[in-house]
Amino acid sequence: MKSVCVSLFLVLTVDSVHSICPFGWIRFSSSCYLFHRSLSTWIDSSTYCRSHGAHLATVQSGSEKDFINGMIQNMPGQYWLDGVYDAAEGIWEWASTGQKISTNLTKLWYPGEPNQETSLEDCMETSTYYNGLWNDEECNEDNFCICENPHV
C-alpha cells in the first residue's frame, strides 16, 4: 500500500510540474505563452521562439483569440503570429504545422485583410491598432511577438 501511495504521489507531482509555465510565460488552456516586447522581423521572432522550445503563436479557437487579445490590450503594439502566406499555393498557413488558415474567417481578419497590399505582405500580425484582428504585413517589419509552447 505504501508503494502505491508513493507512486501516486510521484505521478501527481510529475504531472503538476509539466503544467507549470517557465518564469515570464503565461498559461492558457494547454499552452504557455510569452509576449516578447523586443522588436524584430518575423524570421528573427520565429527563431527566438524556437530557441525557447516554442513557436510563434497559432490561434486554434475563439477562446485562444480572446486570451491573446486580452493580453495585448495591456501591452499595445503589433505582434507576429505564426501565419505565413504560401504564394505558390495561394493560401495562408501556420508555419509550424503547415495547417491551412481560412481567409474567410471574417471575425479573425481585419476588414479587407489579407489584401497583399504589397507583394511582400506574407506574414501575419495581430495588433491593438486592429482591435486584435489579423493583418498581413511585410515579414521584414519589426514587431513584438507572441511565442507559444503547447507541450505543457
- Does some domain include residue 5? no
Provide the residue range defining the domain that includes 29. 23-149
Q: What is the pTM of this model?
A: 0.85
pLDDT tens figures, 93-116: 999 999 999 776 668 999 999 998
- Does some domain include residue 11? no
Q: What is the pLDDT of residue 151?
A: 73
- Does some domain include residue 16? no
Provide, for the chain, the percentages of residues in helix, strand and coil under a 3-state DSSP scheme, each rounded to the nearest 5.
30, 30, 40
- Does some domain include residue 120? yes
- Does some domain include residue 9? no
- Does some domain include residue 13? no
Q: Has residue 24 got a pLDDT over 80?
A: yes
- Does some domain include residue 96? yes
131 conformational bin, left if phi > 0, alpha if psi -120 to 50, beta if neither: left
As a whole number of angstroms, the distance between CA 111 and CA 114 comes to 8
Total domains in the fold of the chain: 1
- Does some domain include residue 18? no
As a whole number of angstroms, the distance between CA 48 and CA 28 comes to 20
pLDDT tens figures, 126-150: 999 999 999 999 999 999 999 999 8
Q: What is the pLDDT of residue 78?
A: 98
CATH number at 112 reads 3.10.100.10
